[in-house]
Structure formats: C-alpha cells, structure tokens
Amino acid sequence: MDGNGRWAQRQGLPRNEGHRRGVDNVERVVKAARDQQVRHLTLYAFSVENWKRPKLEIEALMRLLEGFLKDQRKVLHENQIRLRVLGRWRDLPKRVVKLLEQTIAETEQYTDWNLNLALNYGSRTEVVDAFQSYARAALAGEEDPEKADWAAVARHLYSRDIPDPDFVIRTSGECRISNFLLLQSAYAEYYFTPVCWPEFDENRFAEAVDSYRRRERRYGLTGEQIREQEAPLSGV
Ligand code: FPP
C-alpha cells in the first residue's frame, strides 16, 4: 500500500489524508480481488520498520486500522471473507489486537475468500520467529532436524496456512521488495506500477491481474512442459 504520503503531498494535502484515502482504497481492492477470482489478497499495511516513523503518524495509522476493522467486520462476515494476520501483530495497541482477534475468530469458517493483513511484518523477523518456533518444536520432539525440509520450515512461518503468492504488486514507482514475503514469493511474478496506492483502484487492479494472466511461469521447466499445465491465479 505504498505512496499514500506522496499522493497526499501532490494534492497539497497532509500525509495522514493520504493514509485515509489509502484505507478507502482497501475496500475497493478487496472487492476487485473477488471480482477477479483472487482467493487470497495480502496487504502490506505496516512493516516492522514503520515504527521508526513519527509518533503522531503511527498513532494516526493505528486509529485508521482500528476504524477499518470496526467498519469492515460486518462486511467481511457478510461477504464470507476470512481475515488472517501475518507478523508480530500482537505487539500492536491492545484495542487493535482485540479487534483483530475478534474478526479473525468471526471469519475463520470461511474458505473461499481471504484477506491477509501483514501488520508489524518483516520477512527477516518472520524467519527469526520461525526459527524459534521450529527449535521449540524440535525440543518437544515434534520436529526432527535430521529430516528438515522446506515443508517443515514453512510449517513455522506466519503464512503456514496461506498459499504462496502468485503475483506481487508494488505501487508508487518504487522497484524494491522491502522485506515483504521474501521466501513465499520465490516463484511469484512481480508488477511495479508508478500509481500511488490511493489511486490504485479496481481498474488498475484489473489491468495488473491481466498482465499476470499474459505471463508464462516456468518454475525451471521448458515452455512446452509448462503449456501442458494450467497456472491459475490464487494469491496476490
Ligand atoms: C505507505 O505509504 C503506507 C503505509 C506505511 C501505511 C498504510 C497503513 C494504513 C493506511 C493503516 C490502515 C491499514 C489497513 C489495512 C486498513 P507511505 O506513507 O510510505 O507513502 P510515501 O512513500 O509516499 O510517503
């Protein structure tokens, strides 16, 4: 969700107004994902590095997140969208954690549509947490380090029950990944757009998905081998 601040500055508005418009856009994109048959949509909403921002901006972001959760709880439920959260989200303000816990519990029965929020997320922190979780499981006799493979490691990532993303979109013209799902996106297709998040609406989203659908993914195979298989879009 990058470019909220720059979008606001270009309109002569305060940065926080950009974040507010960014939140409005989340609802549009969640709907667009469903229209495009994207079963998992993961939004990088707050990184571990974002704590370095000015205190007032962090407070405004947390208030926006709280407002979003209060407004969207019912909408997610009505549209049968499951909410999951990736990251050290339990370190967020208590009122936000409580709303997240409630919404996660209320929507956990849904399987078809999934909104995943990366909150207080960073890939390196995820690796550290997975490492600790794996070590504890090994000490408890639940994992055997001699038999460690990718599936065993993946069981300890925040994303343990979420498929790897097929497609990663970065808005606002930056061409870097910034610690987002680094391991999970090993085979993902990337899409960099100059459009800032508040303007990355359903039409831009559809254009991006269209670009994904025109690509050929190979996973180390030949083009001919791949054409014999289907590569449906399941996660963005
Ligand atoms: C990037 O814009 C956006 C963020 C760092 C925060 C986005 C999070 C929220 C708006 C909180 C609510 C979240 C949800 C999911 C409802 P930027 O400030 O880095 O923009 P810039 O690079 O143009 O300055």
Within a domain: residue 223? Answer: no
In-domain check, residue 198: yes
Residue nearest to atom 5 of ligand 1 (CA): 46
Mutate to test the pocket of ligand 1, among 7, 19, 44, 92 (most ligand atoms within 8 A of CB): 19
Has residue 137 been placed in a domain? no
CA 117 – ligand 1 centroid, Å: 12
224 within domain boundaries: no
In a domain, 157, yes or no: no
Q: Which atom of ligand 1 is nearest to the CA of 8?
A: 23
35 carries an active-site annotation: no
- The pLDDT assigned to 27 comes to 96
Per-residue confidence in pLDDT tens, the chain, 236 aa = 999 999 999 999 999 999 999 999 999 999 999 999 999 999 999 999 999 999 999 999 999 999 999 999 999 999 999 999 999 999 999 999 999 999 999 999 999 999 999 999 999 999 999 999 999 999 999 999 999 999 999 999 999 999 999 999 999 999 999 999 999 999 999 999 999 999 999 999 999 999 999 998 888 899 888 888 765 677 78
Angle between the N-to-C axes of helices 15-35 and 55-78, in degrees from 0 to 180, rounded to the nearest 10: 20
Contact 148, 170 (CB under 8 A): no
- Which residue range(s) make up the domain with 212? 4-121+162-216
Nearest CA to ligand 1 atom 22: 3
Q: Which residues touch 150 (CB under 8 Å, ≥6 apart)?
A: none
Cα–Cα distance, 125 to 101 (Å, whole number): 21
Does ligand 1 lie within 6 Å of residue 117's CB atom? yes
Q: What is the pTM of this model?
A: 0.94
CA angle 103, 106, 109 (to 5 degrees): 125
pLDDT on residue 218? 87
pLDDT at position 39 is: 98
Which ligand 1 atom is nearest residue 22's CA?
Answer: 10
For 43-55, give one letter per residue: b (16+ CB within 10 A) or e: bbbbbbebeeeee
Instruction: Give 24 Cα–ligand 1 centroid separation in angstroms.
Output: 12
CA of 22 to the centre of ligand 1 (A): 7
**In-domain check, residue 126:** no
Q: Is the CB of 46 under 6 A from ligand 1?
A: yes
Annotation says 149 is catalytic: no
Q: Residue with the nearest Cα to atom 14 of ligand 1?
A: 65
Decide whether any atom of ligand 1 lies within 6 Å of the 168 Cβ: no
Task: Give the per-residue pLDDT at 232.
Answer: 61
Tally of domains within the chain: 1
> Distance between CA 185 and CA 168 in Å, rounded?
8
Q: Cα separation of 20 and 222, whole Å?
A: 46
Ligand 1 contact, 99 CB (< 6 A): no
CATH number at residue 82: 3.40.1180.10
45 within some domain: yes
